[in-house]
Structure 1
């Protein structure tokens, strides 16, 4: 099999604004006002939707179905022995056209117990265009206090509880399950996450979403907020979440390895993408991957059966992979 070039897969009418930076990065035309996410090589649906969010291959098959029919070809023997046809990965481009609300995502145990979901939602970001992010509590907060802030929609206090951090292109942000966070307006990022659409919203004023009905995942806020980490992050602890990426090799902290992996590969004449199911994003430059020319913003889905890929040219690749089996 050969790598598969993928176009945009952008669910429409999301609850927040954005999308223009994705269009510019990919070299596409203008976008609708609320298409802020490109779900790359997705076998995951938007929560509550039967098909929305799923990627289609050039032959119009759903990627999810193609993998289910031939998981070894796509994912490799070792992956299939451990996880079957579950890709264990969702990759997105995300353009924050406005600051996102304060929110968190549940961990595996909570998601399985309360939602019957196969995964929670750990995530991590590689920053493509910088700005401000809000992540981690500056001080401990009691469950009753947090519940009250959500009920009152006291956004200044909620946002003020979080560390505010400036990020630049090439920085990485690790968001463990349960960690409160919000992406600032103007940030463009590549996101790796567990393949679920599960968000606990603590804020919804000014967003096109019915927060009181949908923000708690159908559990009620008292139960949903039990999945949130209410312990403070010191400045030293925060450095474990936000850092500059190394120039090459694995870029996320070791704690992310059980969920997903991201490799940064500079291309200065020649390079190799090692064998394995992956999503390859050309972050910069003009390169040839397996004999096919690819420029900034190109995304390729690589089946395990494609083997190692030879890369030539001048540029940089970001290679997203599921956890090692």
Structure 2
């Protein structure tokens, strides 16, 4: 096995832009592109491998052929039917609708077996004074929220925060959120495309009509009264040649920010797959059978059977994988990290 790269799947969105051309020198379709699905195996888009002897095959075809060599010995049976992660880049040239995502239980019951949608955002780029919506003011009740929607004044209930490049946000299911204009985001999420739009800024679109909203479903799943600490600090671990910041440890994914100054060495352990997403810079990934370049804007899947590898260069990457979070927390405690340090990781 070898590190797998993929063809991007571009999604036309009325709020999209052309930032992927400028930032990553991509050749885009002529439309406004709001989403680039970097690694996907969903009914609305399945990634095709772009490198090596498996080029042209879909991710699920290769999983069916190679099985545990890709997913690892710890993979749940469900992963063979539906890959658990969806990796995207979002380009917001205009405001997205205010929205919320359901959890697994609600989505399975009401969305034909879909997964819920817990996600994490890394702000790749943002214009000056860029903002996001993150959460509902804690004093706002479900009934007040519904009334404000009817009156077209939902802004009064929303928490707006300023963001800049390098900011990280964890968005568990039930959290109301929206990206405002001028923000480019890397998104790691559960493999789901279920979104409940609750408010669209009273806009009329090109056809002169408002977009469809999903108010009843949204009211069912919003986590009213939740504490909203938006930005992730993480647990930073500095080593010779690189630093690792553990950002999120949820049942759905663990994410780490790797800042490589010289060299990072690791092993895929045969138990699980790993996903690397390039954010800044360029590096070379060396493994037993060869090496590949990993640059900003690229996503690479490391099969569980890849073995030992090292990354040399100067680059910033997100590394994502799935592991039992109780086992993960216990491991950190055994390594000497305090409960207060571990609490800096979102999702635990």
Which residue of the partner structure matches residue 48 of structure 2? 56
Which residue of the partner structure matches residue 238 of structure 1? 228
Provide the rounded CA distance (Å) in 2 between the counterparts of 1:284 and 1:213.
Answer: 35
Deviations 1:287-322 (A, max 9, x none): 111222233222222221222321111222211223
Deviations 1:188-232 (A, max 9, x none): 11111110100110123245699988532xxxx33442111222x
The correspondence for 2:109, drawn from 94, 109, 113, is: 113
Deviations 1:7-49 (A, max 9, x none): 42212x324222x222333221355342111111201133xxx
- Say what the alpha-carbon RMSD is for the aligned residues: 2.6
The answer as to whether partners of 2:3 and 2:306 remain within 8 angstroms in 1 is yes
TM-score (norm 1): 0.83
Provide the rounded CA distance (Å) in 1 between the counterparts of 2:150 and 2:273.
Answer: 44
The correspondence for 1:264, drawn from 257, 266, 279, is: 257
Distance 1:238 1:230, change over 3 A: closer
The structure, 1 or 2, with the larger RCO (C-alpha pairs under 8 Å, 6+ apart) is 1
The answer as to whether partners of 1:88 and 1:194 remain within 8 angstroms in 2 is yes
Distance 1:62 1:222, change over 3 A: same
In the comparison of the two structures, how many residue pairs are matched?
303
Displacement of 1:181 in angstroms is 0.6
The correspondence for 1:159, drawn from 145, 148, 155, is: 155
Distance 1:113 1:171, change over 3 A: same
Displacement of 1:117 in angstroms is 1.9
Which residue of the partner structure matches residue 334 of structure 2? none
2:75 corresponds to 1:70: no
Displacement of 1:177 in angstroms is 0.5
The answer as to whether partners of 1:15 and 1:209 remain within 8 angstroms in 2 is no
* Partner secondary structure for residue 301 of structure 2: strand
Provide the rounded CA distance (Å) in 2 between the counterparts of 1:103 and 1:280.
Answer: 28
Which residue of the partner structure matches residue 127 of structure 1? 123
Distance 1:158 1:302, change over 3 A: same
Displacement of 1:136 in angstroms is 0.9
Provide the rounded CA distance (Å) in 2 between the counterparts of 1:135 and 1:172.
Answer: 12
The answer as to whether partners of 2:98 and 2:199 remain within 8 angstroms in 1 is yes
The answer as to whether partners of 1:43 and 1:55 remain within 8 angstroms in 2 is yes
Provide the rounded CA distance (Å) in 2 between the counterparts of 1:116 and 1:95.
Answer: 28
Structure 1, gaps ≥5 residues long = 47-52
2:20 corresponds to 1:22: yes
The correspondence for 2:198, drawn from 202, 215, 218, is: 202
Displacement of 1:71 in angstroms is 2.4
Displacement of 1:124 in angstroms is 1.1
The answer as to whether partners of 1:44 and 1:54 remain within 8 angstroms in 2 is yes
Displacement of 1:324 in angstroms is 4.2
Distance 1:322 1:34, change over 3 A: farther
Which residue of the partner structure matches residue 136 of structure 2? 137
Which residue of the partner structure matches residue 312 of structure 1? 312
2:247 corresponds to 1:252: yes
Query: More deviation in 127-136 or 206-215?
Result: 206-215
Provide the rounded CA distance (Å) in 1 between the counterparts of 2:162 and 2:317.
Answer: 24
The answer as to whether partners of 2:97 and 2:198 remain within 8 angstroms in 1 is yes
Provide the rounded CA distance (Å) in 1 between the counterparts of 2:298 and 2:172.
Answer: 28
Deviations 1:240-266 (A, max 9, x none): x31345554354344xx2111211112
The answer as to whether partners of 2:5 and 2:300 remain within 8 angstroms in 1 is yes
Displacement of 1:162 in angstroms is 1.5
As a proportion of its length, which structure holds more strand? 2
